[in-house]
């Protein structure tokens, strides 16, 4: 391999469009890049994704390059790039509420099997961050919970499921993104815990994943000054990647970056220097998700750094060997099956039923007042639904026009649903308070009310005026209740995906019990 081709094997690129773009083909042909990443912008439907994967692998083969890692963030729940025509698993926190490790394994295997049929051989999942900060803007329900041992137990099953389907699992975000209050897509989070504390909490799930042979680990754009006093993001820190991850923890697999176009990197270092620093730190796969000019300039910068002697060729060779070894182990040279052979195995009724049962098992009743539930056909009901929105840079797609009301309206003839924004204005709040006076029961479906005071204010004022006839369903953050502890009926779905809305609707109608258990601590409830 030429130097250019070796360096190319250390880069993963994103691109725009649902067919191979001119830019991505150039990166494959000229630089022999290691892989590509799919986002929602690359997805129309499973058949198109299958064809896209086939074309990209053909481009690599025609160029005489190694087969591509074709990667994706298909965590499940609120972070998923393919949402239609496949089995969409609940996210990690609802699975945490369900407490069933076998279900986590089976869903991992189902998701992995379907991804591999679509030509996707690497999943940037599971997220094994321990969520111990209620105000974390980017992890939250992407975590299994707040107990490190519990997160480790669930995460290992997800890894096993994916990898038994021959898809590389990538645990993230090392050494821990759970106790941050800044979204690294927007700025550089800093965590001040010392190494002793990290070993007692954040690192536990990673130790377990490494012990069970996870293929790859993604490093966080988070600074840990107690490990590296330079306060650089872990992605660019030799002390984190080489000394802690490789040295002290003994990890020998592939190490990847989070996207290098996040503000935590771009605003502080620039793409060329950041790419060099990442590889110097010990990174094997530099992920640049969006911009062709940044992708090419980063690759060229690393080539020049090797030519100038700043990075040794031996260092590059060792990283390339880890990458190619994994590609061979996962049999990436194996061609895709024809679409008609794949189609019948994707989104099957048994797979979807598994996801549905997992979703139903996650619904959590924190508390309830007598007489509010179940909702009955004779009741006059006001359902106030907050319209979900993209809360962090990790989110991409949300179900539009699907609400709890969509599942209730045929069974509750006296139901009125009002959809409001995440930040209702005073005039809107007053209208809703008036509307509530003419009904028997009020249900409010909140969305990140913990971050939106006017939403929480609406609930507080409804409860103040109408007491126990008001109930709340939190459609994402379970911590919403800490903003209105007075509410006497509180239900958690942990996500606003279609399956979750369908599941909670069944509970509201009395068609199923809420068996989920809190995987985190609320101001008013303890971990079970």
User: Do the bridges between strand 364-367 and strand 489-492 make them parallel or antiparallel, or are there none, so unpaired?
Assistant: antiparallel
Q: Active-site residue 32, yes or no? A: no
Q: Please answer whether residues 171 and 245 qualify as being in contact, where contact means their C-beta atoms are separated by less than 8 angstroms.
A: no
Task: Tell me the HSE value of 104 on the side-chain side, using a 13 A CA sphere.
Answer: 28
Q: Among 381, 435, 369, 431, which residue's Cα sits nearest to residue 409?
A: 381
Residue 236: partners with Cβ closer than 8 Å, 6 or more residues away: 265, 269, 274, 277, 278, 281
- Closest among 169, 182, 220 to 198, alpha carbons compared: 220
Annotated catalytic residue 185: yes
How many residues belong to the chain? 528
Tokens in use for 315?
A: 């260092």
Contacts of 97 (CB under 8 A, 6+ apart): 361, 362, 363, 364, 492, 494, 516, 517, 518, 519
CB distance 216 to 251 below 8 Å: no
What token pair was written down for 31?
């630089």
Residue of 7, 26, 72, 12 lying closest to 289 (CA atoms): 12
Say how far apart CA 18 and CA 240 lie, in whole Å. 37
Sign of the Cα pseudo-torsion (414, 420, 422, 426, in order): negative
Nearest-angstrom CA–CA distance, 291 and 275: 14
User: 3-state DSSP call for residue 252?
Assistant: coil
Distance CA 331, CA 167 (A): 10
Element housing 263 (H / E)? helix 263-266
- The catalytic position among 50, 185, 193, 452 is 185
N-to-C CA span, the chain? 55
Written as six digits, the tokens of 264 are: 């935590």
Given a contact cutoff of 8 angstroms between Cβ atoms, the answer to whether 284 and 255 are in contact is yes
With 0-12 / 13-18 / 19 or more C-beta atoms within 10 angstroms meaning exposed / middle / buried, residue 324 is middle
Of 73, 228, 258, 284, which one is the catalytic site residue? Answer: 258
3-state SS string over 43-90?
CCCHHHHHHHHHHHHHHHHHCCCCCCEEEECCCECCECCCCCCCCCCC
Distances (CA, A) of 515 to 264, 307, 320: 40, 60, 48
Active site residues: 185, 258
């Amino acid at each position: 391999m030429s130097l250019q081709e070796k360096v190319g094997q250390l880069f993963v690129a994103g691109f725009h469009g649902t067919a191979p773009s001119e830019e991505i083909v150039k990166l494959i042909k000229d630089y022999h890049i290691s892989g590509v990443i799919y986002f929602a912008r690359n997805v129309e439907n499973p058949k198109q994704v299958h064809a896209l994967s086939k074309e990209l692998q053909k481009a690599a083969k025609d160029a005489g390059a190694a087969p591509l890692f074709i990667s994706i963030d298909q965590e499940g729940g609120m972070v998923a790039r393919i949402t239609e025509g496949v089995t969409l698993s609940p996210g990690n926190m609802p699975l945490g509420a369900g407490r069933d490790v076998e279900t986590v394994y089976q869903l991992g295997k189902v998701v992995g099997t379907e991804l591999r049929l679509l030509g996707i051989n690497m999943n940037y999942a599971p997220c094994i961050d321990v969520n111990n900060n209620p105000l974390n803007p980017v992890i939250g329900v992407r975590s299994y919970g707040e107990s490190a041992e519990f997160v480790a137990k669930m995460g290992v099953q997800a890894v096993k499921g994916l990898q038994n389907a021959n898809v590389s699992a990538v645990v993230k975000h090392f050494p821990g993104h759970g106790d941050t209050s800044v979204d690294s897509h927007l700025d550089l989070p800093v965590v001040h815990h010392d190494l002793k504390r990290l070993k007692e909490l954040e690192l536990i799930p990673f130790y377990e994943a490494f012990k069970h042979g996870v293929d790859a680990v993604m490093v966080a754009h988070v600074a840990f000054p107690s490990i590296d006093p330079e306060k650089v993001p872990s992605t660019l820190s030799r002390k984190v990647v080489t000394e802690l991850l490789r040295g002290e923890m003994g990890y020998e697999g592939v190490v990847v970056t989070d996207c290098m176009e996040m503000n935590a990197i771009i605003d502080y270092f620039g793409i060329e220097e950041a790419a060099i620093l990442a590889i110097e730190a010990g990174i094997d796969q530099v992920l640049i998700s969006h911009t062709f000019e940044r992708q090419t300039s980063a690759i060229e910068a690393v080539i020049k750094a090797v030519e100038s002697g700043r990075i040794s060729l031996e260092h590059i060779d060792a990283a390339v060997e880890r990458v190619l070894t994994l590609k061979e182990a996962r049999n990436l040279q194996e061609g895709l099956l024809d679409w008609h052979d794949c189609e019948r195995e994707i989104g099957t009724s048994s797979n979807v039923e598994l996801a549905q049962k997992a979703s139903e098992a996650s619904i959590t009743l924190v508390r309830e007042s007598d007489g509010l539930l179940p909702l009955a056909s004779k009741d006059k009901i006001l359902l106030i639904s907050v319209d979900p929105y993209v809360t962090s840079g990790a989110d991409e797609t949300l179900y539009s026009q699907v609400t709890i009301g969509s599942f209730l309206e045929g069974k509750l003839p006296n139901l009125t649903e009002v959809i409001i924004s995440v930040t209702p204005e005073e005039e809107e709040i007053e209208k809703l308070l008036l509307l509530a006076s003419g009904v028997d029961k009020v249900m409010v479906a909140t969305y990140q009310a913990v971050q939106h005071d006017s939403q929480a204010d609406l609930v507080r004022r409804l409860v103040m005026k109408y007491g126990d006839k008001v109930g709340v369903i939190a459609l994402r953050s379970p911590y919403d209740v800490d903003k209105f502890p007075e509410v006497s009926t509180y239900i958690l779905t942990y996500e606003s995906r279609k399956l979750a809305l369908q599941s909670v609707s069944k509970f509201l109608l009395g068609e199923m019990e809420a068996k989920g258990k809190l995987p985190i601590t609320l101001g008013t409830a303890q971990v079970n």
